[in-house]
């Protein structure tokens, strides 16, 4: 384990200073991690009665620190050198300054991480942070409707063996200070005005819209589930069939796609009334959310997994329901499969673009493969013809070159278009003298040929 730093604190046991360390990381721009059961020399010592201590940690953070910290910390039991220890991950809070409740917002209750230690904050530091506190968070915005119901939300909690009691509005922070439903409640209610769209285009641009489905006007949880299901259907297996084997792979890595969708929904700036957008092109999936990274974090810090949830209350609920595993885990999971170039940062939007992996490489040099068989002149002429074919026709030839016995249904499955479209394109290739069918429809095979123009 690494020595203590501005982002890491070790505690051999849970002691009276624990809240102080948590507050220090909540007020620090990068958050941090506390390991309980590790001494100052980084040696894992383990934790006795670890389940009980884990509960104590959770209760102390929730009850002894203010503003409310739900959604800002994760607690895990991990193993180091065959010793079980507790890892507490703390996000940088959005409602600084945080403080120990019994001491109030004073130097005695406010702390901040400085280097490898936690220091008391001065009155000036406290006043400056308080003046910058986020006041337009969703929990402070009054819902445009007050006759809200939450049947769908309760069902989702029950599916996780959790029951929302009579105090769920307070526990989930769905009320403003004057006891009115806030915007979080509005988004989570059975009927609201939020609509998220999944748009599908036939090509690489937005010119030809072929499908535009709306998911919304219901609990944001239900809408999220519906969007994930829709994109799961669209994220088809692409198949490459050769004479020796059949390979299948999704257009986009499923875990990365799911994490990008959840991030876009949870971190969207809903106070703008601009919802996330999900787009499907012929060569990519694009996920766009409104807003930018928190000012307290740089892009690199976010890429490293640091988290400052923009919509903390929503994050907490998504975590309760299993959409989010750990704070800050979404982007690192995406980066396990893709590089940082999939993220596009605009002035007011964050976009994630997943391009489909090319399973076969097509080029004008394809015709050169046949140069030896048909002669240099014919091979060169074939390359010119090949360059003028459409993309589907090129893919058909490449697949047939790999497997002469491939069926039109298998070609359609591989390319992702209808069998009728395959039949139309193979007929065109036969007219051009490039493709020939040998034998019957069943039991025969294809030949890529070049017929010399005798005229």
Question: Would the pLDDT of 454 be above 50?
Answer: no
Flag the least confident range among 139-143, 197-201, 336-340: 139-143
pLDDT range class, residue 455, cuts 50, 70, 90: very low
Residue with tokens 């102390």: 60
> Whole-model pTM?
0.58
Question: Would the pLDDT of 13 be above 60?
Answer: yes
Domain 8-133 and domain 195-355 have a common topology: no
Residues 162, 153 contacting (CB under 8 angstroms): no
Q: What's CA 299's distance to the chain center, in Å?
A: 16
Please provide the CATH number assigned to the domain covering 195-355.
3.30.565.60
DSSP state of 101: G
pLDDT range class, residue 362, cuts 50, 70, 90: very low
pLDDT range class, residue 311, cuts 50, 70, 90: confident
Report, as an integer, the average pLDDT of 80-96: 91
Report, as an integer, the average pLDDT of 377-396: 66
Q: How far apart are CA 435 and CA 439, in angstroms?
A: 13
Determine what percent of the chain is predicted with pLDDT higher than 70. 86
Task: Give the pLDDT confidence of 110-120 residue by residue, as tens digits.
Answer: 999 999 999 99
Q: Is 17 helix (H, G, I), strand (E, B) or coil?
A: coil
Task: Give the pLDDT confidence of 44-81 residue by residue, as tens digits.
Answer: 999 999 999 999 999 999 999 988 887 789 999 999 99
Q: Which helix (H) or strand (E) holds 361?
A: none
Contacts of 313 (CB under 8 A, 6+ apart): 70, 71, 138, 139, 172, 173, 174, 184
> 455 is written with which tokens?
């005229």
Question: Would the pLDDT of 447 be above 80?
Answer: yes
Q: What share of the chain is helix, strand, coil (3-state, %, to 5)?
A: 35, 20, 40
Flag the least confident range among 206-210, 341-345, 399-403: 399-403
Question: Would the pLDDT of 379 be above 50?
Answer: no
Tell which CATH architecture fits domain 8-133.
2-Layer Sandwich (3.30)
pLDDT range class, residue 378, cuts 50, 70, 90: very low
> What pLDDT does 216 receive?
87
Task: Give the pLDDT confidence of 159-193 residue by residue, as tens digits.
Answer: 999 999 999 999 999 998 889 999 999 999 999 99
Angle (nearest 5°) at CA 305 between 32 and 335? 165
CATH class of the region 364-448:
mainly alpha
Contacts of 2 (CB under 8 A, 6+ apart): 8, 42
Bigger pLDDT: 139 vs 301: 139
Parallel/antiparallel/unpaired status of strands 277-280 and 237-241: unpaired
Q: How far apart are CA 282 and CA 284, in angstroms?
A: 6
> What pLDDT does 271 receive?
78
Contacts of 437 (CB under 8 A, 6+ apart): 430, 444, 445, 446, 447
Question: Would the pLDDT of 134 be above 70?
Answer: no
Boundaries of every domain in the chain: 8-133, 195-355, 364-448
Q: How far apart are CA 298 and CA 417, in angstroms?
A: 42
Flag the least confident range among 120-134, 335-349, 368-382: 368-382
Question: Would the pLDDT of 252 be above 60?
Answer: yes
pLDDT range class, residue 240, cuts 50, 70, 90: low
């Amino acid at each position: 384990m690494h020595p203590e730093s501005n982002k890491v604190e070790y505690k051999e046991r849970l002691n009276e200073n624990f809240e102080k360390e948590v507050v220090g990381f909540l007020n620090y721009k990068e958050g941090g991690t506390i390991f309980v059961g590790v001494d100052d020399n980084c040696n894992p010592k383990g934790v006795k009665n670890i389940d009980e201590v884990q509960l104590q940690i959770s209760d102390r953070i929730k009850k002894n620190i203010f503003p409310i910290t739900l959604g800002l910390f994760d607690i895990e039991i991990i193993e180091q050198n065959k010793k079980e220890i507790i890892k507490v991950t703390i996000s940088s809070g959005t409602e600084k300054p945080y403080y120990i409740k019994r001491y109030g917002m004073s130097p005695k209750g406010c702390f901040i991480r400085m280097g490898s230690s936690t220091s008391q904050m001065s009155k000036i530091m406290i006043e400056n942070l308080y003046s910058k506190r986020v006041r337009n968070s969703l929990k402070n915005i009054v819902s445009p409707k007050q006759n809200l119901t939450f049947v769908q939300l309760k069902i989702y909690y029950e599916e996780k063996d959790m029951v929302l009691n009579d105090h769920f509005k307070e526990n989930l922070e769905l009320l403003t200070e004057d006891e009115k439903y806030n915007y979080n409640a509005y988004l989570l209610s059975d009927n609201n005005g939020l609509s998220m769209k999944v748009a599908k285009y036939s090509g690489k641009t937005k010119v030809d819209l072929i499908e535009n489905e709306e998911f919304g006007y219901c609990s944001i949880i239900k809408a999220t589930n519906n969007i994930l299901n829709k994109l799961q259907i669209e994220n088809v297996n692409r198949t490459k069939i050769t004479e020796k084997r059949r390979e299948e792979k999704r257009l986009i890595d499923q875990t990365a796609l799911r994490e990008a969708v959840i991030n876009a929904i949870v971190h969207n700036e809903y106070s703008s009334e601009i919802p996330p957008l999900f787009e499907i092109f012929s060569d990519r999936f694009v996920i766009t959310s409104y807003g930018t990274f928190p000012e307290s974090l740089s892009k690199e810090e976010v890429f490293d997994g640091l988290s400052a949830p923009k919509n903390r209350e929503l994050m907490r609920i998504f975590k309760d329901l299993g959409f989010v595993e750990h704070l800050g885990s979404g982007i690192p999971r995406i980066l396990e499969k893709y590089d940082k170039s999939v993220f596009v940062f605009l002035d007011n939007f964050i976009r994630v673009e997943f391009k489909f992996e090319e399973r076969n490489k097509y080029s004008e040099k394809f015709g050169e493969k046949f140069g030896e068989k048909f002669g240099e002149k014919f091979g060169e002429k074939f390359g010119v013809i090949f360059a003028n074919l459409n993309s589907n026709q090129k893919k058909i030839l490449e697949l047939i070159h790999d497997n002469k016995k491939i069926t039109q249904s298998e070609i359609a499955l591989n390319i992702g278009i209808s069998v009728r479209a395959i039949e139309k394109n193979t007929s065109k290739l036969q007219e051009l003298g490039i493709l020939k069918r040998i034998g019957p429809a069943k039991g025969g095979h294809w030949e890529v040929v070049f017929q010399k123009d005798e005229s």
